Amino acid sequence: MVEVLAVLGIVLTLVFTVVNGFHDASNAVALPVRFNALTPRVALWMGAVFNLMGALLVGLVLDRMITFEIPVPLDAVGVVALLCSLVTAIGWDLATWWWRMPSSSTAALGGALVGALLGARAVGLHAGPLAVGPYLSWQVLAPMVVAPVVAFGVAFLLVVPLVHLVQHETPGRVNFRSGVVQATGAAAIHFGHGIQHTRRTLWILMLLMLVLGAGFSRGAIPVWLTLLVGLCLAFGTLLGGWRIAYTLSSRVVTLDPLRGAIAQTVSGALLFVGGFLSPIPLSTSQTSTAAVLGAGSAQRFRTVYHRTVVRLLTVWVVTAPLCGLVSAMLFLALSPLVPGTS
């Protein structure tokens, strides 16, 4: 029975990867498509390719940086907790896509897993120490909290010097150069997204593989598994969640092509560099949205849609606790069916 649940968990993990690519595609393509730097089809194909490249880089070079390990028991309780977490995170991604709200899949999955383990402990199925501290510590929260703040601040500060730098250029030349930068930034965002989310997905898959006892080890991740994750991420990217793209390009703040290029550059640089330096996945959605808001806020006239910003911040704040609550309720509902319990 545990093996069947583990196989179901592997399937759900791949589904979550596809949904994640679909949900997060807008983070990179919204501005280049809006300002005609890329066509929608080219933007999505480019995103799929660079997500796949980022995934393959993890398997070939950065596999030792897969250290975001929540202490999940390698038994039926751990598998059911992962199943509840994956279902909750998939549902949250689809719900926020429908609401046109960019949100963090990492926060959703992490909060859901904490909630499921707390649910297991509440019914006496997880008797050992929960050790929530390691993944609620500053080392884990800092990349997710600091990255959006840095993205906003850097994008805001770059606007003034760059506007002065191009003030004597013709609008056509500025727009053309901004389009090139936007396309380059989109590639960097997708590449960083591939690195960030492949590491997290491989961690889940390796836990489930260890439960199956299929001869896998933490220190040797097969390349074919990384390729499978990259292909799922690329396929999801090709589906393109355009509802969120509309929010990022038109409903958060009013941008011109230059400020759009600044936002793309800042978020792309943070996600690309963070993929190499930070073992904890950064939030692609929050980093990209914060950069857009920072670049658009540095204008003399009012351009920020404050109602949308308040909704965004509300979604970001409630993601982890709400997903944790839903996942805990799911685990409690399924606890009588956990193998080895009555």
* Residue closest to 82 by CA, chosen among 124, 110, 121, 122: 110
Lookup: tokens for 119: 């649910």
Compute the average pLDDT of residues 154-163.
93
Most confident residue range from 40-54, 115-129, 220-234, 301-315 = 40-54
CB 126 within 8 A of CB 73: yes
- The residue ranges of every structural domain in the chain are 2-130+140-329
Residues 204-211 have a mean pLDDT of 86
pTM of the predicted model over 0.85: yes
> 234-262, pLDDT tens digit by residue?
999 999 878 898 888 888 898 899 999 99
